């Protein structure tokens, strides 16, 4: 595939800019995005290092994570209780032996 000239056709000296290969703009954007990701990762590592070297910050972070996980666990337990209560109120059809069968999660849809 032939090379394509960039959007700027002339430099300040009046000479045409050398042709750039197709996809060069995409490569430029990917390189810029990669640099931004590296800068963000370095910033995050600086914060982690700061927390790890300061005992009070580490204890506060651990307490926050512990509280978050405890709250998430309580919410999950409440959800499980509600789902379990809903199933017992609307029991499924009975089997041949007269016992309740669990409700099927798959529903047949008739198409006319």
What distance lies between CA 69 and its chain's CA centroid?
Answer: 18
CA gap 77, 63 in Å, rounded: 21
The 10s digit of each residue's pLDDT in 3-32 is 444 444 445 566 677 777 778 889 999 999
Q: Over the range 10-44, which residues count as b (16 or more CB within 10 Å of their CB) and which as e?
A: eeeeeeeeeeeeeeeeeeeeeeeeeeeeeeeeeee
**pTM, entire model:** 0.39
Q: How far apart are CA 93 and CA 110, in angstroms?
A: 19
More confident residue, 98 or 104: 104
Residue 51 class from Cβ within 10 Å (0-12 exposed, 13-18 middle, 19+ buried)? middle
Q: What span, in angstroms and rounded, lies between the C-alpha atoms of 74 and 26?
A: 47
């Amino acid at each position: 595939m032939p090379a394509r000239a960039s959007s700027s056709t002339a430099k300040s000296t009046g000479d045409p800019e050398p042709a750039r290969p197709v996809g060069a703009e995409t490569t430029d954007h990917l390189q810029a995005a990669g640099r931004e990701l590296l800068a963000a990762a370095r910033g995050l590592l600086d914060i982690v290092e700061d927390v790890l070297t300061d005992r009070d910050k580490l204890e506060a972070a651990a307490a926050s994570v512990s509280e978050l996980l405890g709250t998430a666990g309580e919410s999950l337990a409440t959800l499980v209780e509600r789902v379990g209560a809903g199933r017992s109120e609307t029991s499924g059809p009975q089997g041949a032996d007269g016992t309740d069968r669990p409700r099927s999660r798959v529903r047949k849809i008739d198409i006319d």
